[in-house]
Amino acid sequence: MKLIHVNNKIIGDEHPIYMIAEIGINHNGEVSLAKEMIAAAWEVGVDAVKIQTFITKEFLHPSHPDFQSNLHSEIPHEKEQEIWDFAKQKNINLFSTPEEFRSLEFIKKQNPHLIKIASMDFNYKELIQKAASLKKPIILSSGMSTMEEVIRAVRWVEEMGNNDYIVLHCTSCYPTPPQACNLLAIQTMKRALNCPVGYSDHSEGIHIPLVAAALGANVIEKHFTIDKSLPGPDQRCSIEPADLRMLIKNIRDLEKAIGDGKKAPRFEETEPRRYKRRGIYAAHDLKAGVVLKNEDVVFFAPSSEKSKVTNLSDMVGRKLKCDIAKMNLVTMDDLY
C-alpha cells in the first residue's frame, strides 16, 4: 500500500489512524459557532477538522429536499474566510469539501493540506479532476457507490497526475443504521486499491467506527458537534467533545492491542510465564551422585529459566552434582 503524507502525518498501514472531525453544516451558518466547533474538535486531539464550502443555488435545485436546510447553513465565502483565518492563527489543520467550482477556487486560495470530494459528487468527473489538479492529497468519499465506480473515480484522479488519494467507505444515510454499514467493504477496497482506505461514519455512538478501525481503516471521519440538541439534520449522527475524546482514546488503545500478528509471548508476559508455569521439584530428599529418575520429581508452579517441565527429558538419567532437599527446585545446573 502507498503511504500518503499530510503535513507531518503519514496515512497508511502500520501508521496511526488519521482522525477527522467533520463539522459539516452543524454550525447552522453561524461563523462564531463554526469557530467554536473547530476549536473544540482540535482541542480533543483530532488530526484534521473538515467543513463544507458551498453556494447552495449552484449545486442544489430548489426542489431538492435539503435545499432550505443548506441555504440556512450556507456561509458566504467572504464570511467563511474568517473561519480559515481563525484556523491558521490557531495552527489547526482545517480542510473542506467543495460542492461546486466557485467554492473549489475559494478553497484553493486557502492552501489546505487536504481536499475532499463528497459522496454525492463521486460520479462527477469534472469536479473530481479539477480538485485533483490542485495536487493536494485528495479524499474520495464513496457513499452510494459500486466498486466499479470507486475504481473509475481513482482513475480520474490519476489521470490528473495526482497519486495521493484516500478512499473512504461510507453509507449515505443520516444516521446510518448498523445493518447498512457494511464494514467489510473496507477490506474489499483495501484488497482492490493501492491506497489508504478509511471510513466516514454517520452512525450514532462510537462503537461502529471502532469496528471499522479494527477491520483496518486507515482514516476515521466522524461528524462532530458541541451540542446535539442544536437544530440541524446532522446533529443526531454527530458526537460531542467527550465522546470524540473517548473515540480517539479507544482507537489508540485498539491500535496497540492489534499488535504485530506474531504469536509469541509479549514482554508483559515475561514474569507470568515464569510463575504460572511448572518447574521441576524434588519429590523427596535427593543425594549427590544419584541418577535422577521420573519418580524423583514432581511438578509445581513457579518454574525458573533452568527448571521447566519441558526440561525433564534432558534431566532424567543424569547424575546430581549436589544434595537437593524435598520440594526444592531441580535445575539443569544441578546435573552432570
Digit-coded pLDDT (tens) for 23-54 = 999 999 999 999 999 999 999 999 999 999 99
Q: What percent of the chain has pLDDT over 70?
A: 100
pLDDT tier, 134 (very low <50, low <70, confident <90, very high otherwise)? very high
Residues 135 and 238 in one domain: yes
Q: Where are the beta strands (DSSP E) in 84-237?
A: 94-98, 115-117, 138-141, 165-169, 197-201, 219-223
CA nearest to 239, candidates 220, 257, 258, 254: 220
pLDDT of residue 148: 97
Residues 226 and 281 in one domain: no
Residue 2 lies in a domain: no
Residues 186 and 300 in one domain: no
CB 50 within 8 A of CB 42: no
pLDDT of residue 236: 86
Q: Is 132 exposed, middle or buried (0-12, 13-18, 19+ CB in 10 A)?
A: buried
The enclosing domain of 159 has a CATH number of 3.20.20.70
Residue 4 lies in a domain: no
* Residues of the domain holding 21: 11-258
CB 286 within 8 A of CB 330: yes
DSSP secondary structure letters along 176-202: PPGGG--TTHHHHHHHH-SS-EEEEE-
Question: Is 183's pLDDT higher than 90?
Answer: yes
Residues 314 and 174 in one domain: no
Residues 276 and 207 in one domain: no
Last residue of a domain, one of 258, 283, 313: 258
Q: What is the mean pLDDT of the chain?
A: 96
Last residue of a domain, one of 226, 258, 290: 258
Cα–Cα distances in Å, from 67 out to 54, 57, 246, 253? 12, 8, 34, 41
Can you tell me the distance from the alpha carbon of 179 to that of 87, in angstroms, rounded to the nearest whole number? 37
Can you tell me the distance from the alpha carbon of 125 to that of 4, in angstroms, rounded to the nearest whole number? 22
CB 46 within 8 A of CB 221: no
Residues 254 and 272 in one domain: no
Helix (H) or strand (E) holding 246: helix 241-258
Q: SS3 of 229, please?
A: coil
The tally of domains found in the chain comes to: 2
Residues 92 and 122 in one domain: yes
pLDDT of residue 233: 86
pLDDT tens track for 273-292: 999 999 999 999 999 999 99
Residues 251 and 284 in one domain: no
pLDDT of residue 234: 85
Residues 127 and 234 in one domain: yes
Cis peptide leading into residue 175 (ω within 30°): yes
Question: Half-sphere exposure of 190 toward its Cβ, with a 13 Å CA cutoff?
Answer: 20
Specify the residue for cell string 489546505. 112
Residues 201 and 59 in one domain: yes
CB 235 within 8 A of CB 249: no
Last residue of a domain, one of 258, 289, 305: 258
CB 204 within 8 A of CB 236: yes
Residues 307 and 207 in one domain: no
pLDDT tens track for 297-331: 999 999 999 999 999 999 999 999 999 999 999 99
Residues 227 and 277 in one domain: no
The enclosing domain of 277 has a CATH number of 3.90.1210.10
